[in-house]
Amino acid sequence: MKSKGMNDAQFLALLEKVLPQATSDPHVASAIYERVAQEVRLINNLKSFEKFCTEGSLPDLEPATVDGFREQLVTNFANAQVSVEPSEKGDSVAVEIVLPDRKVSNRLKVVPPGTDEEEVKVPYVPFPVALPEDPELFWILARRENVGPDEAGIFLATVETEFWETKTGQKLQRDRVEKTFAEFIARVPAAALADRGLKRIFKEPEPCKILHRGPVASGAAPAE
């Protein structure tokens, strides 16, 4: 049987476990872990960006649309210079992300809704999420059909980490809002989830419903 490779969450958990064994300085261990975690998030963000440029599009070139897209990139790529420039034909935008150690350039199509070139949207499928400490309490989310459950879990964890690092997340923490998954999922912008192929259906969790069914009498005739 072919074993699956280690995912990002498992890798970071392993790194957090072995670092204290490799150095007696907790500050060094913490600094190494944070730097590696940032790089892992950056790699995932770059993958999502490349995928969106390949499969996604902007509906128009209205200032609000372009600015909203730019602001989302600025949120995803902290400490980066982001530029979004419409093409002369108006059928795409040139995107450039300048990071401290690299520069990423790509082009995103502009496809107005209802045109022949509009791509078929990938449908969403159920993606209920529960926390290990309370496995019977579910948050009802959805993921795009082309995003697997494991990948969706990694994306969700990445969005949560990024949310608490945004200006909004920092302000909430200063206002003594508890840094929990419940607060995150209730407050995170829908666009931040959609950028990773996720969607919040309900903000409040639902308890797991156990369906109790009575025994079927032996030999009983089926109901018509």
Q: What is the pLDDT of residues 70-97, one digit of tens each?
A: 888 988 887 789 999 998 888 889 999 9
Task: Tell me the two tokens of residue 123.
Answer: 């449908």
Q: Average model confidence (pLDDT) for the chain?
A: 84
**How far is it, in rounded angstroms, from Cα 11 to Cα 217?**
52
Provide DSSP, 42-86: HHHHHHHHHHHHHH--BS---HHHHHHHHHHHHHHSTT-EEEEEE
Q: What is the structure's pLDDT at 112?
A: 83
Question: Stretch 97-120: mean pLDDT, rounded?
Answer: 77
Q: Which residue has the higher pLDDT, 107 or 12?
A: 107
pLDDT band, residue 1 (cuts 50/70/90): very low
| Residue 182: predicted pLDDT | 92
The conformational region for residue 218 under phi > 0 = left, psi -120 to 50 = alpha, else beta, is beta
Q: Which range scores top for mean pLDDT: 5-19, 107-121, 139-153?
A: 139-153
Cα distance between residue 163 and residue 189, in whole Å: 9
- Is residue 220 scored above 70 in pLDDT? no
Cβ neighbours of 189 (radius 10 Å): 15
Cα-to-chain-centroid distance, residue 29: 27
pLDDT reported for residue 142: 94
135, 129, 145: which is closest to 200 by C-alpha?
A: 129
With a cut of 60, say whether residue 201 has pLDDT above it: yes
Residue 206 phi/psi, 5-degree rounding, is: -120, 135
Res. 30: pLDDT tops 90: no
Query: What average pLDDT does this structure show over 207-217?
Result: 71
Lowest mean pLDDT among 2-6, 144-148, 182-186: 2-6
Write down the pLDDT at residue 218.
53
**For residues 100-125, average pLDDT:** 77
- Specify the 3-state DSSP secondary structure of 156: helix
Binning pLDDT at 50, 70 and 90, where does residue 4 land?
low
- Report pLDDT for 116: 52
